[in-house]
Chain A
Amino acid sequence: MASPATVAPDHFVDLRGVSLTYGEGDSETLALEKADLSIAKGEFAAVVGPSGCGKSTLMRLVSGLMPPTTGAVFVAGDRVTRPLSCVGMAFQNPTLLPWRTTLANVMLPLEIVQPHCRTFRRDRQKYVRMAEDLLASVGLSGFSSRFPWQLSGGMQMRASLCRALIHAPELLMLDEPFAALDAFTREELWSVLQSVWMEKRFTVIHVTHDLREAVFLSDTVYVISKRPGRVVGRTSIELKRPRTLDDTYGHEFNEYVHALRRRIGEVRAQ
C-alpha cells in the first residue's frame, strides 16, 4: 500500500511562518519560530524533538486554542481563528472524569459538540451503540460500565483515545499519549492506534519523544529544534502497513530510528 503522504498532498493542515511568543517584557520567550508545516489529509504525522521545544504549543496552535503571534494556521483550507470542533485531542494524562463510567466518559464530547448535542437525548441509543463499537475497536468491549479507576493505565488511555475519536474528528491531536505507560502496554497501543487509523483514515498530529513510536506509527516525522522551536527536518517513513512489532527489529526500521536519533543529537548540540 502506498503511503498517503505520496498520494494527492492537499495540505489539510498548513502552518505558514508561525511564531509564538509567551509572556511580556523581560520574561518574554520565543516558543516557536517561523514554523512551516504542511500535513496532507489522512496523513499520520509525528512531531519529535528535545523536551521544551514547543511541541505542545504546536498542538494548541493547530487546534485554535491559542492564536499565533505571527504567521497563520490553516486547517482544511480555512484560517484558524477559534477552537476547531473537527479536532479530537488526547494527552499523556488520560483526564477521564472519575464520576462517569467509561461509556459516559467516551460520550462526553457528543454532549457538547455540534450537531450531536442537539440530538443527543433523542438518539441516545444510537450514540451508545457508536461508543460501544468504538470501545470494542480498541479492545475495551465489556468495560463500558466500569469507572476509570477500575481500569489499568493502558485501558484508561484506550478510553481516552475513544473520547477523542467519538465525534469522528477529521484531525486527531495526540500529545505524548503513551509516555506514562510501561513499554509493553505502549507497544500494544501503537498497534491499536494504527489499526483504528487505518480503518478511519483521519489526519493525525502525534507529538512524542519516543523515536521508535514515531517511526512505527507515522507517514512523516517532523523534527523540531530546541527552544525556540523550529522545524529542522522532515522524514517520510516508507514502511508498508500494517506495521508489526516484529518490523521494529528489522534493519529498515532501525535505519530510520538511527537517522532521526542523529538528527536530534545534532539539534541538541547546537
Chain B
Amino acid sequence: MKPSRALETIMPWMVTIGIFIVWEVGCLAFNVPAFILPRPSVFMEVLFRLYDPILHHAEQTLFTTVIGFALAVVFGVLGGVAIGASSWVYDSAYPLLVGFNSIPKVAVVPVLVIWFGIGSVPAVITAFMISVFPIIVNVATGIATVEPELRDVLRALGATRIQILFKVGLPRSLPLLFASLKIAITLAFIGSVISETVASNEGIGYLMVAASSRFEVPLVFAGLIVVAVMGVVMYAIFAMLEQRMTRWAFRDGRNG
C-alpha cells in the first residue's frame, strides 16, 4: 500500500524524532554518562546556549564546503565532458583519476598545510578533491553512452562534435549530473570538516576537535548535528533543482 501524501511528508520527521526519543530514553535507562554518549536533550541545550559561536563556525564550514563544491562542479563537468567525449582522454586519464580518488584525503591535508598554511584554503581543496570524482564519472558516462544511431543521424546531417555534445550529450547526462551532485555535496562536507579537524582555527571540524580535547562531548555532538543538518539542507536543495531541471527523467513518478 502506498502511504498518503501527508504521511509521506511527515514520515522523515517522525523517524528522526523517534530515534532521538529512543536515544534519550536509552541513555536515561542505562545511565550512560554524558562524556560517553550525551542525551539529545543535553546537546540540544548546548546547541542553543552556544548558538552564536556555533553559528560562526558553521558559516565557515558552509563557506569552504560550497566553494570547494562549486569548483568541483566546474572541473567535474569539464573533466567529465573531456573524458566522455574522447576515448583517447578516457584511456589516458582514467587510471590516474581512479588512483587519485583512492588516496585517503586526510593524508593529503598535512601536505596542503605545508603548501597553503592553516585556514580556509586546505578545507576548500579537500572538499573539492573529495567531491569532484563522482561528478566526473557521472558526466563522462552520460556523454559516452549517447546512442550510436542518434550520433549517426546527427553526423549525417553535418553536426559537429560540439553540436552533438550540446544537443544530445549534455542534456542526456543532466540526470546523472544531478545524481552525482547530491552525492558530491555531502562528500564536500566530509572533506571540509576533515581538513578543519587537522588544520584550521575555524569551522565545525575545529570546534569538534577542540571540544573533544576538553571532554565537552555534548558540544562535539552539537557540531555533528549541525553538519548533518547542513548536509540534509544542501541535499534537499539539489534534489529540488533536479526535479525542476530533469522532469523528463522522472516520468513514471508523480510528474508523469
Contacts and interface: CB of A to CB of B under 8 A. Distances in A.
A83 B149 contact: no
13 contacts: A64-B156, A83-B155, A83-B158, A85-B158, A91-B149, A95-B147, A97-B150, A97-B167, A99-B171, A109-B157, A112-B154, A112-B163, A164-B153
B189 to A, nearest CB: 31
A122 B234 CA distance: 41
Chain B: number of interface residues, binned into ranges: 20 to 34
A93 B149 contact: yes
A242 interface: no
A120 to B, nearest CB: 12
B153 A114 contact: no
Interface string B146-170: 0101101111111100010001100
Contacts of B168: 97
A95 B153 contact: yes
B248 interface: yes
A85 B157 contact: yes
Chain A: number of interface residues, binned into ranges: 20 to 34
B230 interface: no
Given A93-B149, A112-B154, 7 more contacts: A85-B157, A87-B156, A89-B152, A97-B150, A98-B251, A108-B154, A109-B153
A113 B158 contact: yes
Interface in A95-132: 95, 97-99, 108-109, 111-114
A93 B147 contact: yes
Contact of A84 (B149, B156, B248): B156
Contacts, number: 64
B210 interface: no
A40 B175 CA distance: 46
Given A98-B248, A99-B248, A149-B251, A112 B149 contact: no
A214 B27 CA distance: 78
B211 interface: no
B157 A60 contact: no
Contacts of B67: none
A21 B174 CA distance: 37
Minimum-distance CB pairs A-B, first 6: A91-B149, A95-B150, A99-B248, A113-B157, A85-B158, A112-B159
Interface of B: 147, 149-150, 152-159, 163, 167-168, 171-172, 174, 246, 248-249, 251
Contacts of B171: 97, 99
A149 B167 contact: no
A95 to B, nearest CB: 4
A132 B172 CA distance: 25
B248 A112 contact: no
A91 B148 CA distance: 11
Contacts of B147: 93, 95
B147 to A, nearest CB: 5
A253 to B, nearest CB: 31
Most chain A CB within 10 A, of B158, B163, B246, is at B158
A98 B168 CA distance: 10
Nearest to B166: A111
A269 B63 CA distance: 73
A202 B188 CA distance: 57
Interface in A56-104: 60, 63-65, 83-85, 87, 89, 91, 93, 95, 97-99
